[in-house]
Amino acid sequence: MKKLKHYFAMRFNWTTGLTCFCFAVVAGVYSARFYRSIQLEIVLILGLLSMLTTRRRQIIWTTLMILFGLSLGLWRGGQFQQSFAGYEQIYGKKVIITAQAKSDGVYDDKQQLEFDIGDIVVAEEDLSLPGKMTVSGFGAPAVTRGDIVQVEGKVYKTLGGKVGRVSFAQIEVLNHTNSIVEQVRQRFVAGMYNALPEPAASFGLGLLIGQRSTLPKDVDQDLRNVGLVHIVAVSGYNLTILVLFSRRLLEKHSKYQATLLSGLLIVGFLLITGFSASIVRAAIVSVLSLWAWYCGRNIKPLLLIGLAATMTGLGSPLYIWFDIGWYLSFLAFFGILVLSPLLIKRYSKSSKLLEYKQLVSDTFSAQVMTVPIIMFIFAKISVVGFLVNLVVVPLVPFAMLFSFIAGLAGTIVPTVSGLLALPAKILLVAILDLAQLFAQIPHALTIAKINITGMIICYAVVVAFCIILHQKTKGLRDIIDEEKDLF
């Protein structure tokens, strides 16, 4: 038995195999959307035939891992397609839907109450459907996340992360939520508005819990124009700040307590913000990183990316099929954990100003990885985004802390909350003024469109550049750095 274990250890790199397995799962899930009739037996036969052409055991075992991953991804994608196919029966039809509200209702420019729904049931068609839809309409004066609602209207097919939309719907709240988490969230939101004026209050909520729906449209557009919209999205950046804070607070006293507090913060953040693609990815990465830190182990960046992508993709193939936020999240993640360390290793000759160099490198790498897909999907790019992020991103942890204090003060001691919220007001207004200033620069948001071929070429160049840098920085085996921000 010992000889057998030694044989496999010498012949097969399990880290490489597991990484290949993870990315094969993602490829399999993605392929299942377009090739529903593909047979797993064909994949296995082709793989086995390819293995017969080589005697190198490393290649054989890696091929087996890839085949297993592809098979698992195709199976999961095909299984999910069966439940997702129910949408084809209701597109273009007027139906009555019973669902759970996944976001608070906000009035749009047409004075319709707009919110997202999930856990969708169409009784007349006997359908229980996955995914989320956007609803806008009249009837109920207010809808809170977690409420059970009845929606009557015509369902339209949409692009992106939502699988459908119902406009000009008749909305009725069947049951209000009694969740303790929702009650705490609503009280905190009310406390934030007690302590801070608009738009600082909505901006603070965006930083803390990713609530963008209440941001004034001009503020939201300014943030888009200068490439700062990610700081008010539900992203890994917000979660990472919380986890790093808890670790630094307790790690000198007890590693167990630091891990436990970080874990509780992750669970609480998920419950408060919801299960969007980026935050689920960030939560998985944070949990894996905490486990590795607690056990004194290292995780290779590509393996970490692969594990997070596999878990989210298997959990909901809709992320891989439709959610652009999922792709942006992982591409930025790749830039920060793979490209950025390579750049620092290659071009930073001294440790002076290392934190600032890392900030510059991380910001640059994240933008390099996300710009091609943004140009392909949205046909727009912020030419001032890099500079503005360098100035604003270091201020975000302080803005989050001050905003939390302001919201807490508005909830507990509203009479003096204005005074306690003064630091938050000053910093939040300063960031918004800076965003507005740069957004007014002519062509701050420039039209720039590329086709899918151009996007693939861009990413091929980046990957080739990473391989070249890896070869030039011999011995580089970077792991996740506990100081690194995970977007």
Q: What are phi and psi of 276, to 5 degrees?
A: -75, 165
**Which residues is 107 bridged to in the sheet?**
113
Judged by DSSP in three states, 265 sits in helix
Return phi, psi of residue 329, to 5°.
Answer: -60, -50
Q: At what angle do helices 14-34 and 57-84 cross, to 10 degrees?
A: 30
Structural domain harbouring 78: 2-84
Residue 87 in contact with residue 44, Cβ under 8 Å?
A: no
Strand partners, 175: 148
Q: Does 127 reside within a domain? A: yes
34 and 121 co-located in one domain: no
The amino acid occupying position 55 is R
Q: Are residues 115 and 217 in the same domain?
A: no
Q: What is the CATH number of the domain that holds 120?
A: 2.40.50
* 479 inside domain: no
Distance CA 429, CA 423 (A): 10
Boundary of a domain, candidates 32, 60, 84:
84
Asked whether residue 131 is domain-assigned, the answer is yes
Which residue has tokens 């939040």? 428
Both 163 and 200 in one domain: the answer is no
> Nearest 5 degrees, angle CA 478-CA 479-CA 484?
105
R_g of the chain, CA atoms, integer Å: 24
Cβ pair 379, 345 in contact under 8 A: no
Let me know the angle formed at the C-alpha of 212 by 208 and 218, rounded to the nearest 5 degrees. Answer: 125
Together in a domain, 38 and 12: yes
Q: How far apart are CA 256 and CA 186, in angstroms?
A: 32
Residue 355 located in a structural domain: yes
Cβ–Cβ contacts within 10 Å for residue 63, how many?
A: 17
The pLDDT score that the predictor gives to residue 55 is 56
Domain boundary among 177, 208, 228: 177
306 and 442 share a domain? yes
Structure tokens at 37: 């009739």
- 480 falls within a domain: no
Domain total of the chain? 3
Question: Domain check: are 282 and 390 in the same one?
Answer: yes
Residue with tokens 């007349």, as numbered in its chain = 124
| CA gap 253, 247 in Å, rounded | 10
Does residue 353 share a domain with residue 251?
yes
**CA–CA gap between residue 258 and residue 75 (Å, rounded):** 39
Q: Is residue 265 part of a domain?
A: yes
Residue 484 inside a domain? The answer is no
CA 401 – CA 238 distance, rounded (Å): 11
**103 and 78 inside one domain:** no
Distance CA 213, CA 220 (A): 9
Question: In 3D, which of 283, 251, 281 has the Cα closest to residue 267?
Answer: 283
Q: Which segments of 274-395 does DSSP mark as H helices, in order?
A: 277-295, 301-315, 317-322, 324-334, 340-347, 354-377, 385-392
| Whether residue 136 is found in the same domain as residue 197 | no
Instruction: Report how far residue 239's alpha carbon sits from residue 278's, in angstroms, rounded to the nearest whole number.
Output: 10
Give the other-Cβ count within 10 Å of 398's Cβ: 12
| 409 shares its domain with 426 | yes
- Token readout for 230 is 């990610």
Residue 110 lies in a domain: yes
* Dist. CA 310–CA 24, nearest whole Å: 9
Asked if 239 and 248 touch (Cβ cutoff 8 Å), the reply is no
Whether residue 52 contacts residue 18, with contact meaning beta carbons closer than 8 Å, is answered with no
Alpha carbons 224 and 382: distance in angstroms, whole number: 8
Three-point CA angle 70, 75, 76, nearest 5°: 100
| Among 34, 119, 33, 44, CA closest to 76 | 33
Pairing of strands 164-175, 133-139: parallel
Q: How far apart are CA 278 and CA 312, in angstroms?
A: 10
Q: Are residues 45 and 97 both part of a single domain?
A: no
Residues 379 and 452 occupy one common structural domain: yes
Per-residue pLDDT of the chain (487 residues; tens, 9 = 90+): 444 444 444 445 677 888 888 899 998 898 888 765 555 555 566 556 555 555 566 677 777 788 888 888 888 888 888 878 788 888 888 888 899 888 888 887 778 888 888 888 887 777 888 888 889 889 888 888 888 999 998 988 887 778 889 989 899 988 887 878 778 888 888 888 998 998 898 888 888 877 777 788 888 888 888 888 877 766 666 677 777 777 777 767 777 777 888 888 888 777 777 666 667 777 888 788 788 777 767 778 888 888 889 988 888 888 888 888 888 888 888 888 888 888 888 777 666 656 677 778 888 888 888 889 988 888 888 888 888 888 888 888 888 889 888 988 988 888 888 888 899 999 999 999 999 999 888 888 888 888 889 899 999 999 999 888 888 776 444 444 444 443 3
Which string of DSSP letters, residue by residue, matches 338-358? Answer: IIHHHHHHHH--S-TTHHHHH
Q: Are 399 and 431 in contact (CB under 8 A)?
A: yes
Of 177, 209, 224, which residue constitutes the final position of a domain?
177
